[in-house]
């Protein structure tokens, strides 16, 4: 997912003017990966005669988990591209931090899912804890990285008038002179 985001970011670097676009690119990559992964899981569920709850669980969690994990990576890609465009240098500190935030979030999810599989007597409680405790913590961290709110209606606008964009938008050209 990160390699795909890097390709998009470096080929279309002016398309990533703020971290919200980076998050959107990351979330889109995560959603695409989740759809592909679910197709593989569904084929396994079919061959194993899994119950309807296995399908339902994947469908309900599809729009949330991978997009949030990848959104962190998207911020890191944005930071990497922004730093390269401003200074010409590449600093890997913050991009790697965001990559590791996404990886840690995914590892926590997988660890809890494995715990649920290893101890079937726990039922769905580990997944409930993951969905209602762990996931919201990372979602709140992501929200705070985006300026303290999600604001989906105006998601791609700048965070505030005092926050300059990394890539300033040029004013439109003046109209041609009338003769």
Q: Per residue in 28-45, pLDDT tens? A: 888 888 888 888 888 887
Which tops the pLDDT comparison, 91 or 15? 91
Q: Is 31 exposed, middle or buried (0-12, 13-18, 19+ CB in 10 A)?
A: middle
pLDDT digits (tens, 9 = 90+) for 52-77: 777 787 788 777 788 888 888 888 87
Position 162 pLDDT exceeds 50: no
Position 97 pLDDT exceeds 80: yes
| CB contact burial 116-145 (16+ within 10 A = b; e otherwise) | beeeeeeeeebbeebbeebbeebeeebeee
Residue 154 has a pLDDT of: 61
Q: What is the pTM of this model?
A: 0.67
């Amino acid at each position: 997912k990160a390699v795909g985001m890097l390709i998009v970011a470096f080929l279309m670097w002016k398309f990533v003017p703020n971290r919200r676009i980076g998050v959107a690119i990351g979330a889109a990559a995560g959603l695409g990966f989740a759809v592909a992964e679910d197709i593989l899981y569904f084929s396994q569920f079919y061959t194993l005669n899994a119950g309807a709850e296995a399908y339902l669980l994947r469908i309900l969690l599809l729009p949330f988990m991978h997009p949030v994990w990848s959104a962190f990576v998207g911020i890191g890609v944005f930071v990497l591209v922004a730093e390269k465009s401003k200074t010409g240098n590449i600093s890997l500190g913050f991009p790697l931090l965001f990559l590791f935030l996404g990886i840690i979030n995914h590892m926590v999810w997988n660890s809890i899912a494995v715990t649920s599989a290893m101890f079937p007597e726990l039922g769905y409680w580990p997944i409930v804890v993951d969905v209602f405790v762990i996931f919201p913590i990372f979602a709140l961290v992501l929200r705070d990285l985006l300026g303290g709110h999600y604001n989906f209606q105006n998601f791609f606008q700048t965070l505030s008038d005092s926050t300059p964009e990394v890539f300033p938008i040029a004013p439109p050209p003046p109209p041609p002179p009338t003769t």
